Structure 1
């Protein structure tokens, strides 16, 4: 496992004991502060219901800088090569993991932490009934809905191109000319894609044999509500929560 030391949201969180080797690495303090600042800003914007694509682009640019620093750490890269892994597991939100797998010349399995649509990785997407991400359409579209979906497909493709291009400088710096990978092509090289969703939550769409739903795989059993909790917990007929955002500890 190759985690960055520290946690962006809860710096002092207690970690469980690992039964596998963990190689830790540290970012320079200035870079860590920049990442924390932009990450918190992006999360707050998203939770406020505002879709700030420029903020996401800025965050990905910082991830690109972070990736360049990691790839330049010869001690870490040599340590990973010496382990001679058979397979690499990568997390698809940070494209750096794809570049590390490419640098190690190893096959990899990718994990998509969100539902379908947030990242294009080669799945067939019939625009007549598969709504484009953020289109607010469903799989039942009339003629004008399909026209809107068709036009938004080009907008989504341009947005993904902008996201992938934030790592262009990193690729130019760490891969020799003539053998530089293209990030969009690397996404297609995954042996398997594990998608953190479930068929019950997604619109019907064609899937490739290397795409597997794993929604809820890491969920822990539900614990009973403490009896000494706030009275509202026991008097309100129905409660629903889609998650909690924690401010960084001061």
Structure 2
């Protein structure tokens, strides 16, 4: 009997331990963006799966990075294209680089707006097809999801959450409208620089003037190039909402930055900072890479990677960089595809893929030559490796500017460099101790927090699942018209009262003067 009782006790203890995990497990619908954004989202998806949550991921037939088969999620493959496939992005990047080489800012702006407009038109068509597909929409409803986790660069996930009235969590820095903070948080343009303007939070009058003009120009461009793409869709399915109000309804904004990287600014209680959540301690390198790194001796290693979208540069630029590398005593590991440069030295190893995080965490790594993508910058901060920046497109200039402002990075113009200027730049970052000291200080600040950024992010996702939303953290300011939000009506009311008081006072003085004048006149008479 005692033995049987012990077995029953063991069963009950096991159930007590397992049941809470089962009860807290959520059914999560993930609507991601492909490319480097999926690299981020995939980390969260895998962590959610490891904690017992059921994850479904929406993908299109032309998905680039998002695979149809995965042990971590169930794919919902839409039999249609998003327009954000590998061929489109490769062609766009090549055209953008060509424009930047010619130095035409206006052509660069036009191309960016053309990309925005074309992509959003395709996404609007895709969303309309999805919403018109009754079988697909019923299957999504029948799945009884607890939460939608999405990247708001495309509004598909935002609209699905609104349609099914589901709690909404963003994995975000950028939205289809602008940088995330500008959609929900007070953003005084006197000290909050617009991303991309290469301005700090300490601006002169001229810089503040530029910042204000750029902000309103950006709002105007979105109003003309992005919002009209969704007008028909909004009128058809969400007549009571606007595109920006759908974004502002999100329960939680998981922001892929922190204030080691970002300039201080106002924020909101439903913005959760998880900068560097993808970073982790370095693992041992594959043996062939470890042997190459160790062969560098006391000189150490330089790591060069231009991210997921840009694996190779124009041939003449690659030749200049390779020639500069060949003159260095350090060994170089360079992620490069295509034809190897003729000027490549014996100290340089070209690879199609590299374990970037593990290389940056290696004791012999001296410098990271990078394009300035958020992932790479955060990994460099985490491991305390100074950066030689070669910004190319999107937010890369702005990311590297923040690092340069903090003294942890040197920026070069990739289209004007030659072997001498590149060599001089990389030697400066290697031999000037302030670059490494400043980056290691940022690393220390970044690591000094009560819990890991990924654990912080997952806690808040589970918080939204447990509480079926987080409306109490969300400001209802998005429901207010602009004149109420900025208290224009209150100011006009107060000005009206003040005007009435002034007019009353003037009338009183006039009346008083009139009475005095009449009394004086009577006395004279």
TM-score range, shorter chain: 0.7 to 0.9
Q: Aligned-pair distance for 1:243?
A: 1.8
Residue 121 in structure 1 maps to residue 183 in structure 2: yes
Inter-CA distance 123–242: structure 2 relative to 1 (3 Å threshold): farther
- Please name the residue that 1:84 is paired with: 144
Q: Aligned-pair distance for 1:233?
A: 8.9
Contact 1:114 1:196 in 2 (8 A): no
Inter-CA distance 82–223: structure 2 relative to 1 (3 Å threshold): same
Contact 2:197 2:211 in 1 (8 A): yes
The more displaced of 95-104 and 225-234 is 225-234
- Please name the residue that 1:243 is paired with: 307
Query: Structure 2 matches for 1:142-161, cutoff 5 A?
Result: 142-161=204-223
Q: Deviations over 1:169-192 (max 9, x none)?
A: 22234x16xx34211011111111
Match for residue 64 of structure 1 among 102, 117, 124: 124
Structure 2 unpaired stretches of 5+: 1-55, 101-107, 312-525
Aligned residues: 237
Q: Secondary structure at the match of 2:88?
A: helix
Inter-CA distance 181–137: structure 2 relative to 1 (3 Å threshold): same
Query: Structure 2 matches for 1:94-113, cutoff 5 A?
Result: 94-113=154-173
Match for residue 243 of structure 2 among 175, 180, 183: 183
Q: Secondary structure at the match of 2:170?
A: strand
Greater per-residue strand proportion: 2
Contact 2:69 2:75 in 1 (8 A): no
Inter-CA distance 202–242: structure 2 relative to 1 (3 Å threshold): farther
Q: Secondary structure at the match of 1:171?
A: helix
Query: In 2, distance between residues paired with 1:62 and 1:149?
Result: 31
- Please name the residue that 2:235 is paired with: 172
Q: Secondary structure at the match of 1:238?
A: strand
Inter-CA distance 38–244: structure 2 relative to 1 (3 Å threshold): closer
Contact 2:146 2:167 in 1 (8 A): yes
Q: Aligned-pair distance for 1:165?
A: 2.9
Contact 1:132 1:153 in 2 (8 A): yes
- Please name the residue that 1:16 is paired with: 70
Inter-CA distance 47–97: structure 2 relative to 1 (3 Å threshold): farther
- Please name the residue that 1:163 is paired with: 226
Q: CA RMSD in A?
A: 3.0
Q: Aligned-pair distance for 1:246?
A: 6.7
Q: Deviations over 1:151-179 (max 9, x none)?
A: 11101212333323322222234x16xx3
- Please name the residue that 1:25 is paired with: 77
Contact 1:68 1:170 in 2 (8 A): yes
The more displaced of 124-133 and 50-59 is 50-59
Inter-CA distance 62–154: structure 2 relative to 1 (3 Å threshold): same
Inter-CA distance 133–246: structure 2 relative to 1 (3 Å threshold): closer
Q: Secondary structure at the match of 1:129?
A: coil
The more displaced of 220-229 and 192-201 is 220-229
- Please name the residue that 2:286 is paired with: 226
Q: Aligned-pair distance for 1:74?
A: 1.1
Q: Secondary structure at the match of 2:288?
A: coil
Inter-CA distance 4–212: structure 2 relative to 1 (3 Å threshold): same
Q: Secondary structure at the match of 2:129?
A: helix
Contact 2:257 2:275 in 1 (8 A): yes
Query: In 2, distance between residues paired with 1:232 and 1:245?
Result: 26
- Please name the residue that 1:141 is paired with: 203
- Please name the residue that 1:130 is paired with: 192
Inter-CA distance 44–180: structure 2 relative to 1 (3 Å threshold): farther
Q: Secondary structure at the match of 1:167?
A: helix
Query: In 2, distance between residues paired with 1:108 and 1:46?
Result: 34
Match for residue 259 of structure 2 among 173, 183, 199: 199
Inter-CA distance 192–35: structure 2 relative to 1 (3 Å threshold): closer
Greater per-residue helix proportion: 2
Q: Aligned-pair distance for 1:118?
A: 2.5
Q: Aligned-pair distance for 1:81?
A: 1.7
